[in-house]
């Protein structure tokens, strides 16, 4: 067995050596940034802007940017429409990867972008802590990093375009407060996931709006969904069993809209606005299920998020950084707009999920 | 006359080389796929064979491989441990919880491995002594470990000392630190399997439990010990994942289970026990890592990547069966 193993190792070693030898001359950046043999890599105390000062502005057509996404779903596709639109306008080449919510896979994908010597990396982190080592590696290679949707706390991140989740939750809270008749009521506030800043901000915004409106008659109960439609279904059914008089439901993301509809139906409280027994429902995102539910009338309002703008902002600022510029702000927030059952259809062009409902 | 003799010798050498190569491919059925795949990626993706990329590839493979070594031991005895990925995550989380952000990395290492060993001891005792079915038992352990990981971490990433995060970036000759740990595990495991009586008993137990019993092998001890080692290595792999990611994640093992078991089987270790080797597992894991990495570099969409990976696994498994029959 010993004799068999040795040739295999030799074969593999030889293969890697041949591949490495056949490799074309490393690019200028690789030569400049690759650590010398036996050298321990250490983060450099420079900022992305400082690093870019020494480089010539790149022609847009020569720019290649890696986009590391956490997962593929409607909202992310909408953000990518904005990214791709800017890429088309400016002749930027995009290399896209999807980590399927696996932080190790996402780190490996970012390492692949670094190996490909991309000009910048756009990231929606699977986990904003687990991504840090990958951003360290990008920093070592001198490659600027821009984040969108999910913020990452790392000095090397040049720019972040994110949602204004507090404001989005607040808009829903204001709407519910505007419907308040002063009678004692129970309000169900569904939570996304407690490890997701967007979920926490939406919850806080919603409840702060009710508090600031002086809605002391409203008792708020919370139920976790962990961003899971089945869990949301169970949470709403359980909540209605325990509190049959729930007056309003806050949905943190409208991908779970159909589950909520099923739960309301099975609890015997599904009714359109103006009908007896109607429960006030406000939802956030503006995806097809939320838009459809609002037009149908069983959902009162939807906060449509400007996802394409968020994606546009990320790529535009990445190009700015590549060309040696500095973004006007390092943390830009894009608040959503609330549309009610009365005006959602008329404003379909402004709600990104409306296209899927046609 | 002399020329004829030289020709004959050359022919013999050629035949011998061909036989040797055939023998290698029979034992390492992954190689006929791994080598062309590597060449193809190197041709199509210019950055595939760069030191930066190979370093990244090895770092990803190292964590999976260390856990897969334990799984190989278990599968050689005709068992299976599907708790390995959750034990990996649980060990990482508890190690990180005890370490905190200011504790000693050594404490984290000891705690992580100990947690893995405890789970392994539980599995080993239940399978070997109580006679529980490995699949069902380790399914239960998987759920317990996963539950503990999420409960302790409250579902969020746990920060660890900065020194560990720095360790994840340490390279020697462009090879990441954790890859050296994986190589050390490879060598020790190979030695244990080939050069010790315990290792030979594992093969015998997997090939024929009754025969092992008949010749007086303490099969319960052997069977239990492989689960203990699998647990300990899962704990070590959890710690390596912390070094690699810079944090401990409760769900870090979720996507790894199929890769771990898939890598072991793809490498040619039999699910029915008695046949396989650690180096085969290394090749199986390497193939999966190369595939994932190369397809990323080629810009394959996520879903297309899954299809290609699935096809290659089918091809590899088919080839392993074919070559296994031939040998």
- For A196, the closest chain B residue by CA position comes to B156
The residues that bridge with A186 in the sheet, in sequence order, are A219, A246
Q: What is the pLDDT of residue A59?
A: 57
**Do residues B230 and B128 make contact, with C-beta atoms less than 8 angstroms apart?**
no
Distance between CA atoms of residues A293 and A26, nearest Å: 55
Number of Cβ within a 10 Å radius of residue A245: 10
Contacting residues for A28 by C-beta, under 8 A, at least 6 apart = none
pLDDT tens track, chain B, 327 positions: 555 665 666 666 666 666 666 666 666 778 888 898 999 998 998 888 888 888 888 888 999 999 999 999 999 999 999 999 999 999 999 999 999 888 899 999 999 999 999 999 999 999 999 999 999 999 999 999 999 998 898 877 888 998 888 888 888 888 889 999 999 999 999 999 989 999 999 998 888 888 888 877 888 889 999 999 999 999 999 999 999 888 898 888 888 898 899 899 888 888 888 888 999 999 999 999 999 888 888 878 777 888 888 888 788 777 766 766 555
pLDDT tens per residue across span A258-315: 999 999 998 889 999 999 999 999 999 999 999 999 999 999 999 999 999 999 999 9
pLDDT in tens, A181-208: 889 999 999 998 876 778 889 999 999 9
Per-residue pLDDT at B246: 87
ipTM (interface predicted TM): 0.75
Cβ-based contacts of A8 with chain B (< 8 Å): 24, 27-28, 31, 279, 283
Burial class (CB within 10 angstroms; exposed 0-12, middle 13-18, buried 19+) of B97:
middle
Using one digit for the tens of pLDDT, what is the confidence trace for A87-138? Answer: 999 999 999 999 888 888 899 899 889 988 999 999 999 988 889 989 999 9
Which residues of chain A lie closer than 8 angstroms to B35, CB-CB?
Answer: 11, 15
pLDDT value at residue B33: 86
Sign of dihedral through CA atoms A258, A263, A265, A270?
negative
B59 to chain A nearest CA, in Å?
A: 9
Q: Which chain B residues are within 8 Å of A107, Cβ to Cβ? A: 60, 244-245
Q: Which among B157, B194, B286 has CB closest to A129?
A: B157
Sole residue written with tokens 């702060």? A208
CA-nearest residue of chain A to B294?
A112
Mutate to test the interface with A, among B37, B42, B49 (most CBs of A within 10 A): B49
Structure tokens at A266: 């099975």
A46: Cβ contacts below 8 Å, ≥ 6 apart: none
Q: Mind telling me how many Å the CA of A132 is from chain B's nearest CA?
A: 7
């Amino acid at each position: 067995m010993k004799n068999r193993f040795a040739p295999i190792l030799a074969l593999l070693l030889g293969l890697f050596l041949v591949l490495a030898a056949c490799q074309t001359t490393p690019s200028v950046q690789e030569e400049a940034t690759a650590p010398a043999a036996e050298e321990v890599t250490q983060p450099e105390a420079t900022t992305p802007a400082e690093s870019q000062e020494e480089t010539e502005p790149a022609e847009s057509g020569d720019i290649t940017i890696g986009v590391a996404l956490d997962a593929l779903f409607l909202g992310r596709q909408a953000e990518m429409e904005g990214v791709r639109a800017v890429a088309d306008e400016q002749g930027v080449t995009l290399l896209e990867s999807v980590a399927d919510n696996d932080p190790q896979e996402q780190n490996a994908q970012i390492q692949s972008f670094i190996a490909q010597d991309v000009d910048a990396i756009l990231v929606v982190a699977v986990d904003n802590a687990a991504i840090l080592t990958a951003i360290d590696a990008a920093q070592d290679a001198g490659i600027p990093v821009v984040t969108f949707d999910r913020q990452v706390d790392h000095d090397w991140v040049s720019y972040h375009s994110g949602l204004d989740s507090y404001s989005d939750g607040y808009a829903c809270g204001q709407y519910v407060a505007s419907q308040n008749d002063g009678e004692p009521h129970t309000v169900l506030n569904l939570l996304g996931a407690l490890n997701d800043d967007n979920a926490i901000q939406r919850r806080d915004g919603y409840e702060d709006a009710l508090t600031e409106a002086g809605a002391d008659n409203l008792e708020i109960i919370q139920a976790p969904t962990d961003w899971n439609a089945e869990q949301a279904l169970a949470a709403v059914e359980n909540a209605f069993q325990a509190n049959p008089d729930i007056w309003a439901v806050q949905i943190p993301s409208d991908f779970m809209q159909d589950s909520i509809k099923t739960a309301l139906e099975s609890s015997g409280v599904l009714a359109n606005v103006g009908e007896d027994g109607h429960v006030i429902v406000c939802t956030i995102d503006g995806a097809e299920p939320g838009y459809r539910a609002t037009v149908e009338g069983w959902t009162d309002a939807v906060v449509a998020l400007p996802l394409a703008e968020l994606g546009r902002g990320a790529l535009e600022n990445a190009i700015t950084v590549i060309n040696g510029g500095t973004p006007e702000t390092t943390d830009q927030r894009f608040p959503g707009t609330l549309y009610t059952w009365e005006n959602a259809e008329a404003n379909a062009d402004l709600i990104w999920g409306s296209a899927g409902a046609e | 006359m002399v020329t004829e003799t030289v020709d004959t010798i050359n022919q013999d050498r050629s035949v011998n080389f061909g036989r040797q190569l055939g023998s290698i491919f029979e034992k390492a059925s992954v190689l006929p796929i791994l080598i062309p795949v590597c060449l193809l990626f190197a041709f199509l993706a210019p950055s595939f064979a760069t030191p930066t990329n190979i370093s990244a590839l090895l770092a990803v493979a190292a964590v999976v491989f260390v856990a897969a070594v334990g799984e190989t031991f278990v599968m050689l005895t005709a068992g299976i441990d599907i708790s390995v990925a959750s034990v990996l995550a649980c060990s990482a989380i508890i190690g990180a919880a005890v370490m905190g952000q200011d504790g000693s990395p050594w404490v984290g290492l000891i705690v992580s491995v100990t947690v893995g060993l405890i789970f392994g001891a539980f599995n080993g005792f239940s399978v070997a002594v109580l006679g529980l079915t490995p699949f069902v038992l380790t399914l239960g352990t998987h759920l317990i470990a996963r539950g503990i990981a999420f409960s302790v971490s409250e579902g969020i990433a746990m920060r660890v000392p900065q020194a560990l995060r720095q360790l994840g970036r340490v390279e020697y000759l462009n090879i990441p630190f954790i890859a050296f740990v994986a190589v050390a595990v490879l060598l020790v495991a190979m030695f244990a399997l080939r050069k010790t009586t315990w290792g030979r008993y594992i093969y015998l137990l997997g090939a024929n439990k009754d025969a092992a019993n008949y010749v007086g092998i303490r099969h319960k001890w052997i069977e239990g010990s492989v689960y203990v080692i699998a647990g300990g290595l899962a704990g070590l792999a959890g710690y390596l994942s912390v070094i690699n990611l810079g944090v401990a994640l409760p769900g870090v093992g979720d996507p790894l289970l199929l890769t771990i078991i898939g890598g072991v089987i793809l490498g040619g270790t039999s699910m029915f026990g008695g046949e396989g080797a650690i180096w085969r597992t290394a090749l199986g894991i390497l193939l999966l890592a190369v595939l994932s990495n190369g397809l990323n570099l080629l810009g394959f969409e996520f879903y297309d990547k899954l299809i290609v990976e699935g096809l290659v696994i089918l091809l590899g498994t088919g080839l392993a069966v074919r070559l296994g029959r031939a040998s």
